[in-house]
A and B are shown apart, each in its own frame.
Chain A
Amino acid sequence: MNFNKIYALGLRHLYLILNSFPRVLDLIYWPTVQIFLWGFISKFFTLNSEYYNNTVGIILTAAILYDFLFRASISFNMMFLEEIWSRNFTNLFIAPIRIREIIAALTLTAILRTLIGLIPAVLIAVPLFGVSILKLGLPLIFLLLGLYLFGVTLGLLVASGLLRYGPSFENVAWASLFLLAPLGCIYYPIEILPYSLQFIAKGLPLVHIFEEMRSILINNSVDYINIIKSISISVVYFIFGVIVFYFSYFGAKKRGTLINMGE
């Protein structure tokens, strides 16, 4: 790994953000709207639900964590799409940069975009709704790590689809996370799902992450085994995502799509 090249590619996306105030605004806007929406829903539920009435902010915390996953994935996708939209694909893939350095650069830069969007929203949640995700304590770092790895994995899979099917795969980029959200048990316990879907859901890291989040907030107990399980599943998916990306890259070379990838 050459960190100068990873830095160079990261810089390309940092400049893109810094050059455009509307772009920064766009990054901040959606997470903030989400926090407002779920903040009010959360407030309503805590006042009217027996399940949530002792634990203010479970839904809002879940919304923040889910948005973190969503932003991580979308950030990765957006940076990859940006190369296609700007017709810079050929220049990027003929530069002396390894594929793993491209993946590393997009993975590391995605966190920046994610945090730019999410930090203001997280800060707003404290005075407005009295909810701070820091209440999750040290496990928060591990929960975010699991979510981030899974978000980037989804980004990698969508990027692989873009390499395989071209820019028309873009719509899947937006839909991919909504597809998994019902199985992720973000706002409800896994028991709500039919048994057959529970089986599938347990194969996703999301269930373990959000179950753990609820357990910490409701019972004040941390099950590190569950956290390790969620991170391990995320790592397995991430490795799978990297392999799929490499396959798509070599497939794109065979089909010759790298040379004409554009809007």
Chain B
Amino acid sequence: MFIQIKNLSKVYNKFLAVDKISFEINKNKTLGLLGPNGCGKTTTIGMILGLVAPSNGEIIIENKNINKFKRHEILFRFNFASPYVELPKKLTVKQNLEIYGRLYGVHDLNKRISEISSDLDIKKFFERKTGELSSGQKNRVSLAKSLINKPEILLLDEPTASLDPDIGDFVRSYIDEYKSKNKVTILLASHNMNEVERLCDSVIMMKKGKILDRGTCKNLIIKHGRDNLEDTFLKLARSKDEFQ
């Protein structure tokens, strides 16, 4: 296993946000993290990124506990994008990419910036301040930042939330293409079931901090007797029982 999560829990004061979850992600595969709002997806991502200290459990990368790595060494291999996290608004797109490229120690930075900005079609607003861009443009810049270091592990939190269908499709297509051309392991939290079906090799469904079920999209749909992943999600999200 490339990433193993073992009995991971997080308690905020007395609130159990994540409750002993365990899952694995194979190298260069994409795992979807599904669940209703407040089910613990973002907290789980936060713990993997080292932003949130787990109350219990282990995060293991290539058979080594994440705590055994030095913080800056392991984060060098990660990156993250979310529409809820922005880049400095008063800096231009180019400046932001330059700064994050430097922070991630990217070699031949200018070439990498040029490459990624061509791929994501952001060159035309390169000199504009990030805060002046539309949601779709900001989203692509954020994705460019998250790929600037060619991460081995990419965490995406609702990468196409609030995007119009056209831009949403562009982003999904790009991630799909990027996956096929690069060695990257992705954890994708999303509420867009079409996106999950398109991009994920397997999914886990969370509710109230626990994993309700897991499997490939196709298997889950068949298992729960539904026609599509959206209906399967609704069944699980509205269920009172645990399914595992």
Contact = CB atoms under 8 A, between A and B. Distances in A.
B137 interface: no
Contacts of A259: 42-43, 46, 51-52
Given A87-B86, A88-B87, A90-B85, A8 B95 contact: no
B87 A91 contact: yes
A253 interface: yes
A95 B103 contact: yes
Contacts of A224: none
A61 B53 CA distance: 48
Contacts of B87: 86, 88, 91
B86 A258 contact: no
Interface SS majority for chain B: mixed
Nearest to B72: A96
A29 interface: no
A250 to B, nearest CB: 7
A146 B212 CA distance: 58
A213 B68 CA distance: 50
A19 interface: yes
B42 to A, nearest CB: 7
Contacts of B234: none
B76 interface: yes
A147 B84 CA distance: 39
B91 interface: yes
Interface string B73-101: 11110111010111111111001001110
Interface string A225-263: 000000000000000000000000010011110110000
A103 interface: no
Contacts of B50: 94, 253
Contacts of A97: 72, 103
Interface in A168-216: none
B72 A256 contact: no
B100 to A, nearest CB: 7
Contacts of B100: 91, 95
Interface of A: 2, 4-5, 7-9, 11-12, 15-16, 19-20, 82-83, 86-91, 93-98, 101, 250, 253-256, 258-259
Interface of B: 10, 12, 17, 42-43, 46, 49-53, 71-76, 78-80, 82, 84-92, 95, 98-100, 102-105, 129, 131, 145
12 contacts: A11-B98, A11-B99, A12-B88, A20-B90, A86-B89, A90-B80, A91-B86, A94-B79, A94-B80, A253-B53, A255-B12, A258-B52
Lowest 8 CB-CB distances: which A-B pairs, in order? A8-B102, A96-B75, A96-B76, A96-B72, A87-B86, A253-B53, A259-B46, A95-B103
